[in-house]
Amino acid sequence: MNLKTLLAATAAVATLVFSPLSHAEDVRIALVVKSLGNGFFEAAHEGAQEAAAELGDVEVIYTGPTTTTAEGQIEVITSLIAQNVDAIAVSANDANALVPILQRARSRGITVISWDSGVAAAGREVHLNPSSNALIGEMNIRLAADALEQAGASEGQFAIMSATPTSTNQNIWIEEMRKVLPDYPQLELVDVAYGDDLADKSYREALALLSNHSDLKVIVAPTTVGFLAAAQAVRDEGRVGEVYVTGLGLPSEMAGHVDAGVVHNFAIWNPIDLGYAATHIAYDLVKDTNGNGTVSMGRLGEGTLDDNGEVAMSEPFIYDASNVHQFAEIF
């Protein structure tokens, strides 16, 4: 070992041992996301840090696989079990595939919750939904109807751009979208594409939707990654004004596309608050301070659990040219 390496190694050990940010008595909460590099989850991480600062004795471990797979998450969770963290709060790439590893975590005394994208009840104690699933589904269809109107059509075709085919949250929302479709006879669903929450795959899938359906008027994407990629694809193909894109997006990522006229309006809840609430819930369960049938979401108040151990945070909010730039500063 040369001197430089030795100094670096010593410094690393010193940080581990003496870092004021990490105390042995801290509650270590792992925020496991669908994949790294997604702005939505980065915003949730910011909220988790806010909760940690508020609680005082929490260390947040932000982690996830590089691609949106259950296998990747199983690897990450295996390593968190070895590190003996106090809690795992996961946004799942698959509702069932993670159950065995999460059960192992729970049998070692680790508190497990899911948030954003759920795991089956057998694998976790509580699941935090951003909002009511029915409301999110209906809102996406209402946005699609708004977009159709912007395209100047009284009726027309639309397609859904989703995340992965096993993603719990998108699958539930699509189911809810289908339920309300009969109330919107002007909208004809012609395709559901899966971009796997990868920018390049979502972009290619959006191009395919545009070339396979020449009368397509609207793409609705209940995923921030798919939404961003689809808006870019429509612009690159020179179809602005003819095809509108909407769904669930981050104002910071979508403001330019609203300005360009490819997006009229869209929705999202506050992703910072979602990470914040998940951290508070995990902490409450680790400390065993939760009420009977309720969990603490910090400044967002108490959440009431339903029969399936699920709790909803708040309502989504609509963004358009009038407010998107203001919110783009925040998330």
Among 50, 116, 176, 205, binds ligand RAM (CB under 6 A): 116
Residues numbered 135 to 164 that lie near ligand RAM (CB under 6 A) are: 163
Distance in Å from the first CA to the final CA of the chain: 45
Q: Is there a contact between 30 and 79 (Cβ–Cβ < 8 Å)? A: no
Cβ 161 to ligand RAM shortest distance, Å = 11
Q: Is there a contact between 173 and 226 (Cβ–Cβ < 8 Å)? A: no
Q: Is there a contact between 160 and 192 (Cβ–Cβ < 8 Å)? A: yes
Query: What is the Cα Rg of the chain in Å?
Result: 21
Tokens of 287: 């400390």
Cβ 216 to ligand RAM shortest distance, Å = 22
Toward ligand RAM, which CB reaches closer, 27 or 159? 159
- Contact stretch for ligand RAM (CB under 6 A) within 33-41, 45-53, 73-81, 82-90: 33-41
Cβ 297 to ligand RAM shortest distance, Å = 17
Cβ 264 to ligand RAM shortest distance, Å = 18
Residues numbered 77 to 106 that lie near ligand RAM (CB under 6 A) are: 91
Find tokens 């990629």 and name the residue: 229
Residues numbered 189 to 208 that lie near ligand RAM (CB under 6 A) are: 197
Q: What is the DSSP letter of 248?
A: B
Q: What are phi and psi of 205, to 5 degrees?
A: -65, -35
Cβ 223 to ligand RAM shortest distance, Å = 4
Among 49, 69, 93, 117, binds ligand RAM (CB under 6 A): 117
Among 28, 29, 32, 38, binds ligand RAM (CB under 6 A): 38
Q: Does 166 bind ligand RAM (CB under 6 A)?
A: no
Q: Is there a contact between 91 and 170 (Cβ–Cβ < 8 Å)? A: no
Q: What are phi and psi of 139, to 5 degrees?
A: -65, -40
Tell me how far CA of residue 269 lies from CA of 28, 44, 167, in angstroms.
Answer: 26, 11, 18
Cβ 221 to ligand RAM shortest distance, Å = 8
The contact set with ligand RAM (CB under 6 A) reads 34, 38, 40, 91, 116-117, 163, 169, 197, 223-225, 248
